[in-house]
Chains A and B, each alone.
Chain A
Amino acid sequence: MSQSIKLSSLFLCLCLTSIAGARTAADEPKPKPENTISVKLAEPVPAQKFEPAPKFSITDVTDRSGNPQPMVVFKDRGGLFLDRQPTAILREAIDDSLKSANLRADDPGSADLTVRLYLFHFGLAQGSGLDFFSKVEFSAMVKNPKTGESQEVKATGTAIARGAVRKKNIQKNVEENLQEALKDATRNFLRGVQLKEAINSLWKAPDASPVASGMVDSKTANTGNHQ
């Protein structure tokens, strides 16, 4: 008799565990077209002016956030997902801005300076609970491929948006907020004093132009003739 009670209680426990597991799996949000947002810069961020300007190339973007689900922005209310990996979004934002400022090398081999990006945070951060607080934080390793020297440049972007109750409004506010943070971080990198200092220390413009050297050559030749 006691054996049958033990068996039935064990069976009951197994049933409860399986039900709990199934409910947890059902609560886990899944990416669908209606809960996926697209984060990208509305327009390229204007970079600071460099005289003369070097050409950059982005070699790689590494995710160092340690987030096991980098594409999940918001877990509650059915979840909110990014349409691409945050590394791809960041790469596109910086690449487009460099291109619009005519600072991007056409092919990676011809770049004066290479940039390797390390992404530390992309998405919502802990806010007051009354609003949405987005943060984009990354670090760039600017390297001169000829000399092998490199320097680190840090950039952060933050944005605060109003909170929302309706799912549709949450989606809209989070999307705008993330775009603002991405724009802020890109701007912080491209207009930062750190980038300027890195360029000044790592790269020197070739000073002798072919026309000038040609003139020197002809002068030398003339002097030679006179002698």
Chain B
Amino acid sequence: MRMWMAVLCVCLMSLAGTARAKESKAEFKTVEAKHFKEAEGVELSPAFSDYFYAELRNELTKAKLASEIVGEGEAVDDADAATSGVISGTITEYKKGSVVKSALIGFGAGLRSLKMDADVVRRSDSENLCVLHVHIRIDPRWNEKIMAKAAARQMVNEMKKALKERKAA
């Protein structure tokens, strides 16, 4: 019985150890998300930019890529600059889609489409850490905010993947 208790204690302690290691394993100390610019010809509502910015910060927080997600234009301590990142980008293309085409033709025709390019740079020396390309296609009847939500999620997933590959290389 005592033996089993000892084994259980050792197991629990080792599990607690791994949990602590995971918590402190954030990629960055801070990450600053910026409002994305819109390329010429992109006609999205003004509220889209704000909503996407909020959603991107939300997804970055959920992904635990950084210990702290700072807002646009916030100062970061000089000591943390080397381990901090900044994510900025441009919405390069937006196609409104067509409900008629989507309903009559189907097979992906008439879908609403959004393309975005983003860069993740190190704050201290502006070294480019990864370049992200996101392409989202949704039903034209859906709200554009749902598109923002999907785009933010995909962007953070791409970022995670790119940083992992960079680390492995």
Contact = CB atoms under 8 A, between A and B. Distances in A.
Interface string A113-155: 0000000000001111110010100000000000000000000
A44 interface: no
Contacts of A193: 73-75
A158 B73 contact: no
A103 B8 CA distance: 53
Contacts of A125: 47, 50-51
Interface stretch (B84-92, B93-101, B140-148, B153-161): B140-148
B143 A158 contact: no
A154 to B, nearest CB: 8
B108 interface: no
Contact of B145 (A127, A156, A188): A127
A188 B54 contact: no
Contact of B47 (A126, A130, A156): A126
B149 interface: yes
Interface in A132-185: 133, 135, 156-160, 184
A129 B53 contact: no
Contact of B71 (A130, A133, A156): A156
A194 interface: yes
Nearest to A192: B73
Interface in B1-35: none
B73 A129 contact: no
Contacts of B54: 133, 135, 158-160
Interface string A183-198: 0100110011110100
A135 B57 CA distance: 14
Given A158-B53, A158-B54, A129 B74 contact: no
Given A125-B50, A129-B143, A160 B74 contact: no
Contacts of A133: 51, 54, 145
A178 to B, nearest CB: 13
Nearest to B45: A126
B55 interface: yes
A76 B98 CA distance: 31
Nearest to A190: B74
B51 A128 contact: yes
A191 B75 contact: yes
B72 interface: yes
Contact of A128 (B57, B74, B75, B143): B143
B47 A128 contact: no
A67 interface: no
B145 A126 contact: yes
B107 to A, nearest CB: 26
Interface of B: 47, 50-51, 53-55, 57-58, 70-75, 143, 145-146, 148-149
9 contacts: A126-B145, A128-B145, A156-B50, A156-B71, A158-B50, A159-B54, A160-B54, A188-B71, A188-B74
Given A125-B47, A133-B51, A156-B50, 14 more contacts: A48-B75, A126-B47, A128-B148, A129-B145, A158-B53, A160-B55, A187-B71, A188-B73, A191-B70, A191-B75, A192-B74, A192-B75, A193-B75, A196-B75
